[in-house]
Amino acid sequence: MPYTLGQAAKATGKQKSTILEAIRSGRLSAARDDKKQWQIDPAELHRVYPPNSPTVANERYETPQNTDKTELLEAKLRFLEREIVRLERIEADLREDRDHWRRQATALITHQPKLDPAPTSELVKPKGGLLEKLFGRM
């Protein structure tokens, strides 16, 4: 879709007279329509004059369909960023739990109390009769 002289001036940030001078000098090709308005091809205009800003050049070609896709992609990007934060929190919690249980297992393995052997007197029962039971060992 071609620019009019005013649209071309707005897209490049130049004066209408500057663009008209470029057309008349032959540096910029343009045609007139049946209403005698200049019709300037955007590619031809930006060959001679760079766009005023990156969005100006794309403004004319962005359709509502492209806008919807952009909004959808931005929404997906925001969702994925939140999901990354959530998963990083879960990972940190799992690492903390793992480290806690590892410390506890190490403490149990390295600090086991030593078992004292039972005294031999408890292991061997006296073989005595009734008198030994009544009066003790003789």
Across the chain, mean pLDDT equals: 82
Name the one residue in this structure whose structure tokens are 């073989």. 127
pLDDT digits (tens, 9 = 90+) for 104-117: 999 888 876 666 66
pLDDT at 86: 92
What is the predicted pLDDT for the residue at 68?
77
Q: Which of 9, 44, 6, 38 is nearest to 24 (CA)?
A: 38
Answer yes or no: pTM beyond 0.85.
no
> Using one digit for the tens of pLDDT, what is the confidence trace for 28-73?
999 999 999 999 999 889 888 888 765 544 555 555 566 778 888 8
Residue 128 per-residue DSSP state: -
Q: Where do the H-state alpha helices sit in the chain?
A: 5-12, 16-25, 42-48, 54-59, 64-110, 120-123, 130-135
pLDDT of residue 56: 47
**What span, in angstroms and rounded, lies between the C-alpha atoms of 30 and 52?**
19
What tokens does 70 get?
A: 């952009």
Kindly tell me the sign of the dihedral angle through the C-alpha atoms of 75, 77, 80, 82.
negative
Say what the pLDDT of residue 57 is: 46
- Joined together, the tokens standing for residue 81 give 């960023």
